[in-house]
Homo-oligomer: A and B are copies of this chain.
Amino acid sequence: MSNLGQLIEIPTHGDERGSLSVAEIGGVLPFVVRRAYWIHGTKPGVARGFHAHRKLNQFCVCVSGSVRIVLEDAKGREDVFLNRPDRGLLIGPGVWREMHDLSADCVLLVLADGEYDEADYVRDRQKLT
């Protein structure tokens, strides 16, 4: 359950071979992806994020390990725990995000609808409207 993000069950084909999870246009992926990144090898105790985006949409999946994501806007703050490769979290513009408690084996995949643009970042939480 999340009010600030949208939790999405990712279709997963599991059989005797193992599992394959799919996010595609026409399925659970709501935009074409122009930027993909993955966070890995995070040191113990390190938190990341601490920004919002003005326009960017992101689809986040913890494909290995676990992470606690904190979402916040002017109305509230909440924790979302991601620890499954078949669960996505869609985060839209104007939502502050922090990543905490990344496990040693955490790989957090982020699919985004735009390339890196420093002007799209809000790094001062006080400026969230």
Q: How many copies does the complex hold?
A: 2
Please report the C-alpha to C-alpha distance between residue A35 and residue B116 in the assembled complex, in whole angstroms. Answer: 20
The answer to whether the Cβ of A25 comes within 8 Å of any Cβ in the partner chain is yes
Q: Are B16 and A38 in contact (CB under 8 A)?
A: no
Option from B19, B29, B46, B105 in Cβ contact (under 8 Å) with A36: B29
Please report the C-alpha to C-alpha distance between residue A12 and residue B78 in the assembled complex, in whole angstroms. Answer: 30
Cβ distance A47 to chain B, nearest Cβ, rounded Å? 8
The answer to whether the Cβ of A48 comes within 8 Å of any Cβ in the partner chain is yes
Q: Are A64 and B18 in contact (CB under 8 A)?
A: no
The answer to whether the Cβ of A52 comes within 8 Å of any Cβ in the partner chain is no
Q: Quick one: closest B residue to A14, CB to CB?
A: B41
Q: Which of A1-53 contact B (CB under 8 A)?
A: 14, 16-27, 29, 32-43, 46, 48
